[in-house]
Amino acid sequence: MMPRALLLLVFWVFFAVPCVFASTAESVLRVAYVDFPPFHSRDENGHLRGLLYDIVTEAVQKRLGVPLVWEPGPWARCQERVERGQADAMITVPTAERARYTVTHKTPLYLKTHVLFTYAGHPRLERILALGGIEDIRAAGFRVITYVGNGWSRTHLAGAGVEVLEAPSRDAVWRMLAARRGDLVAECPVAACMTLRGLVPEGAVVQTPVVLETLPFHLLVGKNSPLASFLPQLSDILRAMHVDGSMERILSSYR
């Protein structure tokens, strides 16, 4: 049976919040985004979909009644548009630099993990499973495969002295790993599972339990946006989505 406090939270979110935001229902939140499957991207029919797209649509548009307009562009341009007030919001990790011109909520939309993958039958699998972090990867001499333009790998791996092999595309990363042309790939399991299906032989790539980093993704709204006031209530909405099972339903559809 659901605890009384949680029942009150769910009741408040469903019945009180729509009244609070009724006056803003005609406003539109313009979300600047980069094509980034499986989090937010256009499918072959031109329809926008993805894990973060579904979470934000459910929480902000359906439950808070704030219509969303998704505006694509290169990532650097997305951030610039929010900073200049040409777009209202973006979905990313809060940083001190972004806090200069945005505000956000306490409860993350999603926790994105960088997990290590290797190829089946790796002769040093036990050493891989014992890795404690990036410094251990460097010390063990493992080569990590990534794709051209991956800023995280450039900063956190190559910048720490790890040997990084760059593939020309995201798909090529997994083909290289399956072909044993490198030792490891650091990727979010959701993104990896969506990409791997049908790309390499089943079982050729193995996910390990080694987590390098966990990144909290938030909706960051420009400080000058008239819609920034709903952010404290967004945390309540997100907690209620975990309680009522809707968050798990969204997450499970991308596993």
Q: Are residues 222 and 210 in the same domain?
A: no
In this structure, are 220 and 208 located in the same domain? no
For residue 19, the model assigns a pLDDT of 41
Structural domain of 136: 112-214
Q: Is the pLDDT of residue 147 over 80?
A: yes
Count structural domains, the chain. 2
The pLDDT tens digits of the residues spanning 64-115 come to 999 999 999 998 899 999 999 999 999 999 999 999 999 999 999 999 999 9
Q: Region 157-184: what's the mean pLDDT?
A: 95
Q: Which of residues 106 and 21 earns the better pLDDT score?
A: 106
Contacts 24+ apart (CB under 8 A), 80-85: 81/32, 82/32, 82/220, 82/222, 83/222, 85/222, 85/224, 85/225
pLDDT tens profile 22-62: 444 458 999 999 988 899 999 888 899 999 999 999 999 99
Calculate the alpha carbon distances from 47 to 2, 40, 70, 108 in Å.
37, 10, 11, 25
CATH number at residue 13: 3.40.190.10
61 in the same domain as 89: yes
Determine contact, residues 170/198, Cβ cutoff 8 Å.
Answer: no
